[in-house]
């Protein structure tokens, strides 16, 4: 059964069709269509219950690459893993990468993904120079930010609903080596986090913080964690061979391995890991994609799956709001393995439904404990909504239509660009 990464919801599709070449006519279907590639988003943004999934994994060909300018055109099913491997050896890098490199160009556009360098480089869509969009009426639109700004704004962050994204032209950034200079430092409270962040963001293009959302800091409030910053290195270290460890969770454990005991223990240990306040050389793979070293890590939650909860709060509400969110999570006792806190830059994403915007974003994951989990989410929703924030569609399986509409006020404008034959579980859920 095709699922998304968190394996909630489990839904049946009427048909699943593999697309193998660009220009291939879309199936004439009685059901709505939706592109699906690696299924690394969470929830139902990449699912289409009762409809047709168009598998785009085989649309993974390079089309052109200009060595001098670093501009690449490829089919939308190309993975960032493939693209990075290609680019790095030629002195180029993908300008924005999310927390996993096992996503495709099309998915990165459709969710207007962001990375640890958002404050520096903005979201993925800002680096897209062109894309082609196949509509169900057979038309193929050439979409560019300047030539067709409305279609561009609808398709970037458009959750794959404006048609099938067939090709993407992306501007890469130059790098000297595959290595980064990175440092990390513990902090005892959110106040310290904001201070650290204000100092680090100007100098370090990549920054991110992990928060221990179970164990309070020395002043009794939740919010201790580890802050890290990095930049691309200009020289490789003397011993510059790197092999990514290949570990995998081989199968589903009968019950979730994530429970109160393991969570508390994991958060303790993670907080106590060695930190490196002075910058040192780290290969880009473990720094940017720590979880990619463990294939199928989603299996630790067992067959039942888990939830992600990622929100953004606007600048005026971010400090109080983040503390309130963390306090609520801590009080519920349903901690999260990896709570990730990141301050976005001052630019909103280029898409009508782009999630990245000025403010700060917090990402949490939770095992599915049924009603308890949903009650917690409702309390978190209230904090987000009162702060004027939004939840990330790419990581959502349960937000209410009201929260979607308040978080994405341009949704009605966007709706006029949705292809009449395309839809998703997410879209039907939040527009009903």
Q: Which is nearer to other proteins, 2 or 144 (CB)?
A: 2
64 near other proteins, judged by CB under 8 A: yes
Q: Which is nearer to other proteins, 58 or 320 (CB)?
A: 58
Interface mask (CB under 8 A) for other proteins, residues 190-219, using x and -? ------------------------------
Q: Which is nearer to other proteins, 248 or 275 (CB)?
A: 248
Interface region with other proteins, contact rule CB under 8 A, candidates 21-29, 270-278, 306-314, 351-359? 21-29
Q: Which of 18, 137, 235, 273 binds other proteins (CB under 8 A)?
A: 18
Provide the terminal-to-terminal Cα distance of the chain, rounded to the nearest Å.
Answer: 26
Q: How far is the CB of 283 from other proteins (least distance, A)?
A: 20
303 near other proteins, judged by CB under 8 A: no
Tell me how far apart the alpha carbons of residues 365 and 357 are, in angstroms, rounded to a whole number. Answer: 21
Q: Which is nearer to other proteins, 72 or 403 (CB)?
A: 72
Helix (H) or strand (E) holding 348: none
Q: Which is nearer to other proteins, 21 or 219 (CB)?
A: 21
**Helix (DSSP H) and strand (DSSP E) numbers for the chain:** 12, 22
378 near other proteins, judged by CB under 8 A: no
Which one, of 212, 208, 335, lies nearest residue 271 by Cα?
212
65 near other proteins, judged by CB under 8 A: yes
250 near other proteins, judged by CB under 8 A: yes
Q: Which of 7, 13, 22, 224 binds other proteins (CB under 8 A)?
A: 22
Residue 138's CB is within 10 A of a number of other CB atoms, namely: 8
Residue 30 Cα distances to 18, 24, 139, 345, 397, angstroms: 17, 18, 19, 43, 25
Tell me how far apart the alpha carbons of residues 137 and 131 are, in angstroms, rounded to a whole number. Answer: 18
21 near other proteins, judged by CB under 8 A: yes
- Residues ≥6 apart with Cβ < 8 Å to 342: 116, 118, 207, 208, 209, 360, 361
Q: How far is the CB of 61 from other proteins (least distance, A)?
A: 4
Is cis: bond before 198, omega within 30 of 0? no
Q: Which is nearer to other proteins, 90 or 319 (CB)?
A: 90
Q: Is the dihedral of CA 171, 175, 177, 183 positive or negative?
A: negative
Q: Answer whether 164's CB lies under 8 Å from 27's CB.
A: no
Residues that bind other proteins (CB under 8 A): 18, 20-23, 58, 61-65, 67, 75, 86, 250-251
């Amino acid at each position: 059964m095709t699922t998304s990464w968190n394996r909630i919801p489990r839904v049946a599709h009427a048909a699943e069709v593999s697309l193998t070449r660009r220009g291939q006519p879309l199936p004439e279907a009685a059901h709505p269509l939706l592109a699906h590639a690696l299924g690394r988003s969470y929830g139902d943004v990449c699912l289409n219950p009762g409809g047709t999934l168009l598998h785009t994994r085989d649309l993974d060909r390079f089309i052109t690459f200009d060595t001098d300018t670093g501009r690449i055109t490829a089919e939308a099913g190309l993975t960032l893993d493939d693209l990075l491997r290609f680019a790095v050896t030629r002195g180029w890098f993908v300008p924005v990468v999310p927390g996993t490199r096992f996503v495709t160009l099309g998915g990165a556009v459709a969710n207007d993904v962001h990375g640890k360098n958002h404050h520096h480089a903005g979201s993925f869509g800002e680096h897209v120079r062109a894309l082609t969009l196949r509509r169900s009426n057979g038309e193929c639109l050439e979409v560019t930010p300047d030539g067709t700004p409305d279609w561009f704004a609808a398709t970037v962050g458009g959750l794959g609903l404006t048609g099938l994204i067939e090709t993407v032209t992306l501007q890469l950034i130059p790098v000297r080596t595959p290595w980064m200079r990175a440092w990390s430092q513990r902090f005892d409270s959110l106040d310290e986090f904001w201070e650290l962040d204000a100092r680090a963001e100007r100098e370090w293009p990549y920054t991110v913080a992990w928060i221990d959302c179970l164990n309070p800091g020395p002043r009794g409030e939740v919010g201790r964690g580890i802050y890290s910053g990095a930049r691309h290195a200009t020289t490789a270290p003397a011993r510059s061979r790197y092999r990514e460890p290949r570990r995998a969770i081989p199968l589903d454990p009968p019950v979730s391995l994530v429970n109160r005991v393991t969570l508390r223990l994991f958060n303790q240990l993670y907080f106590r890991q060695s930190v490196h306040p002075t910058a040192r050389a780290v290969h880009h793979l473990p720094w940017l994609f720590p979880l990619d070293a463990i294939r199928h890590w989603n299996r630790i939650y067992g067959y039942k799956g888990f939830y992600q909860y990622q929100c953004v709060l606007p600048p005026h509400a971010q400090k109080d709001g983040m503390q309130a969110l963390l306090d609520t999570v801590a009080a519920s006792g349903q901690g999260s393995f990896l709570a990730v806190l990141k301050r976005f830059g001052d630019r909103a994403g280029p898409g009508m439904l782009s999630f990245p915007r000025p403010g700060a974003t917090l990402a949490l994951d939770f095992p599915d404990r049924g009603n308890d989990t949903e009650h917690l989410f409702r309390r978190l929703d209230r904090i987000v909504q009162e702060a004027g924030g939004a939840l990330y569609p790419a990581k959502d399986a349960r937000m209410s239509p009201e929260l979607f509409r308040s978080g994405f006020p341009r949704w009605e404008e966007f709706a006029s660009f949705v292809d009449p034959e395309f839809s998703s579980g997410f879209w039907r859920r939040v527009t009903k």
